[in-house]
Structure 1
Amino acid sequence: MTQSTDTFDETFPYAPRFTDAPGFRMHYVDEGPSDGQVVLCLHGEPTWGYLFRNLIAALGETYRVVAPDHMGFGKSDTPQDRSYWLQDHIDNLERFVLALDLRGITLVMHDFGGPVGMGLASRHPDRIRRVITTNGPTPFGQPTLIDRVTENARISPWFQWIQKAESDGRLDAVLGELGFNILSTLKLNGFQDHALISDTWLRAYGSRFARPADCAGAIGWARGFAIDAHRFEVPDAAAMRAIRSRPALAIWGMADRTLHAEHFLPLFSELFPQAPIHRLAGVGHYSLEDAPKTIAAQITPFLQQT
């Protein structure tokens, strides 16, 4: 379990905050002016708010940057009596946002933070100001969604592995040791900048998963795909119209081995046909690790101009 006060050698120097609103102790970062526009950063598997550390630093002087850790990840608790399907994470985020009364939200989403954030948008479109994806799918009930997810899984090493591990009964055993195999798991999904690898960086991502019981979140998210337990939020017509009217931006690392641009950027363009898309050559799935300065330099003017 990651200690709440651990700054990882000052690479994550943000004050830990906690709320029990989702029914467990959820950790989040809340940096910047309290009256600033809200930028809500949503991580995926098997990361946490640490993924956004450079973006928080880049935006925090002007914007209120909020980065929660999903249930079972980062500095949040891992309740053993909860399920970890997509709908559970959407429920948790909804309770979190309502408890903090966040409004005028700019969503910044990575990995499964995409469907979680879009689930929030489906339920509360009035609270969403902008949508930004950074290698995070933006599923919003499109008819083509399941076909694209299925086709992507056929060429993704990560999805191939979790489906086989689940069918062989090995998923719990392997992901239950995530604290020890964190580097191979991250690399399987894809990052390109090997200069990132240090004892501090590995500890930041691996210490969360010290024991098998600590890995319930990572196991649950993977198993949900393997057994088709995740349910994407389907907005009503009014929510669909509202979100499609919001300014949107896609930033995608084209070396992503897990969420291939050819399958997921069309989902984004279906919703936001006029929105800009920045394709980053040589940047992997963890684009916020591979190209943090480039991404901040693309997000900042977008926030200023919309």
Structure 2
Amino acid sequence: MIHRHETFNGTYPFAAHFTAAPGFDMHYVDEGEGPVVLCLHGEPTWGYLFRHLTAQLCTNHRVIVPDHMGFGKSETPADRTYWLQDHIDNLEKLVLDLDLQDITLVMHDFGGPMGMGLAARHPDRIARIVSINAPAAFGQPTLGATLEANTAESPWFTWVIRAAQEGRLEGVLNESHYNILSTLKLNGFERNELITATWLKAYAAPFATPADCRGVLGWAAGFAAGMHQFENPDTIAREKISRLPALCIWGSADQTLHGKYFIPLFRSLFPDGQVYELPQAGHYSPEDAPDAIAWLLSRFLGLNPVGKPTQHIIPVI
């Protein structure tokens, strides 16, 4: 767990907030005023991934960026499991504790099924959906085939399954502080000039000891063992969610979550949604293309204000 006041040489200057509602100290950033934008990170990142978006959006929005259990500045309890459904439970308790309404979900990586899980449980609290290299999916019948096909082409998921079968997964991921760069590069980002001492420290810091690695290990081990449970909303909730303004931004160089599998999944759920592909960006597109993503997201928020009818525009693909 990172010290609450750590800013990584001023690159993460946001005040730390904590809630004990999920049963552990869960950290979140809470910057600005206005409509709520809730940013959800994935594996093996934390709120640092959204530092550029936070700074650019907080002038007109209330930007909330939680660190999930076992990541970032949040606690890593020893007596908890770290499956998808556990993270959805924690997120739900944060949202209810803060009584967040009219939420714009901005989701990356496993933040996608986590945010969609929240939407399934509380569709009346969600106003807009944004997927950034994130599976925007429920437990629909096509999900299993999509995940299987993607896994066959993903070096990360292929390694996770093989390492789990051979008993090597825990040994490797319990040393994430040491091998964070190889983990990030295996998942994929394109801008090697980002790899500074400060950048590496920021992404390695949550995993200083094996005891700190329960989050990063739990997500991978849960995938290998089939422990993650995607939410299935009822028909009314699914219909309500599918009518929300929705935006998909995909770094086309993603080698972990391939757009050819997950963009159709997004379109099947949000037939009127907008899709933008960024050819120079990889899996960690908020790192590769922060300005482009901020512009697309700001434009989307402006065209689809909370409480007003959606303005449909022709997507640029």
Q: Which band: TM-score by shorter chain?
A: over 0.9
**Map of 2:41 onto structure 1:** 43
Matched, 1:303 2:313: no
Within-5 A mapping of 1:221-232: 221-232=219-230
**Map of 2:24 onto structure 1:** 24
In the TM superposition, residue 274 of structure 1 has moved relative to its aligned partner by 1.6
**Map of 2:60 onto structure 1:** 62
In the TM superposition, residue 142 of structure 1 has moved relative to its aligned partner by 1.9
Deviations 1:203-235 (A, max 9, x none): 000011010010000000000110100010001
Within-5 A mapping of 1:109-124: 109-124=107-122
TM-score, normalised with respect to structure 2: 0.95
The DSSP-based 3-state class of the residue aligned with 2:138 is coil
Within-5 A mapping of 1:1-306: 1-33=1-33, 36-306=34-304
Q: Distance in 2 between matches of 1:274 and 1:18?
A: 37
Deviations 1:132-157 (A, max 9, x none): 00001111232100100011001100
Residue type at the aligned position of 2:137: P
Q: Distance in 2 between matches of 1:276 and 1:242?
A: 17
Q: Distance in 2 between matches of 1:48 and 1:144?
A: 29
Segments of 4+ in structure 1 off by > 4 A? none
Q: Distance in 2 between matches of 1:42 and 1:238?
A: 25
Q: Distance in 2 between matches of 1:207 and 1:38?
A: 28
In the TM superposition, residue 3 of structure 1 has moved relative to its aligned partner by 1.2
TM-score, normalised with respect to structure 1: 0.99
Residue type at the aligned position of 1:87: Q
Q: Distance in 2 between matches of 1:146 and 1:287?
A: 25
Residue type at the aligned position of 2:24: F
Q: Distance in 1 between matches of 2:160 and 2:117?
A: 24
Q: Distance in 1 between matches of 2:227 and 2:19?
A: 27
Q: Distance in 2 between matches of 1:235 and 1:121?
A: 8
In the TM superposition, residue 275 of structure 1 has moved relative to its aligned partner by 1.1
Residue type at the aligned position of 2:138: F
**Map of 2:310 onto structure 1:** none
Q: Distance in 2 between matches of 1:59 and 1:231?
A: 32
Sequence identity, in percent? 60
Residue type at the aligned position of 1:69: D
Paired residues in the alignment total 304
The DSSP-based 3-state class of the residue aligned with 1:41 is strand
Q: Any gaps of 5 or more consecutive residues in structure 1?
A: none
The DSSP-based 3-state class of the residue aligned with 1:240 is helix
- Alpha carbon RMSD of aligned pairs, Å? 0.5
